[in-house]
Each structure stands twice: as structure tokens, then as C-alpha cells.
Amino acid sequence: MSIKEKVLEEVLTEEQVGNNNEIVLYNDDVNTFDHVIETLIRVCKHTPEQAEQCSILVHYKGKCTVKTGEYKELRPQCSQLLEAGLSAEII
């Protein structure tokens, strides 16, 4: 194994460890599709298409990962989702 390959492997491993948390959004019978989509766009910086796809997944599958990253970055976003009346948690 060359030095270049070894360094590349270490960098990739470090990136995976840093982004091991995710915000999971759960389905509920209260919020409208429009509210969920608008909130994901505002809070998680989703594109309209991405927010719509997540809302459909939440509706039909019961939950969807809407954001991944470091805990300290996800915490304020998860709090904003909760304040907007959505059901979410960081795992």
C-alpha cells in the first residue's frame, strides 16, 4: 500500500466518524404536507423537491432521515423542527 492510499483511507474514516448523527422526522396526524415542506426548506435548507420527497417518505414509511451531521450542528435544527410542531429526534 502506498503512502497516498494510506492517507486517503484515514481521511475517509475521519469524515464518517464526524457525521454519525441524523435528524429523523416522524409522521403525525397533525401537520400538513405544506407545513412540513416549508419547515424543512427553512430549517434544514432543503430544496423544495428534497423537502417534498422527505414529506412523502415520512407519510408513507412513518419516518425519514432529513439531515445528517455532527450533533452540535443538528441540535439547533432539531429544536427548530420541534418548535414548529414536528416530531423529530437526533439519533
Q: What is the pLDDT of residue 13?
A: 52
Domains of the chain listed by start with CATH number? 20-90 (3.30.1390.10)
Q: Is residue 88 predicted with pLDDT exceeding 80?
A: yes
pTM of the model: 0.79
More reliable by pLDDT, 59 or 9: 59
**DSSP code string of 36-87:** HHHHHHHHH---HHHHHHHHHHHHHHSEEEEEEE-HHHHHHHHHHHHHTT-E
pLDDT in tens, 11-59: 555 555 556 899 999 999 999 999 999 999 999 999 999 999 999 999 9
Q: Report pLDDT for 9.
A: 59
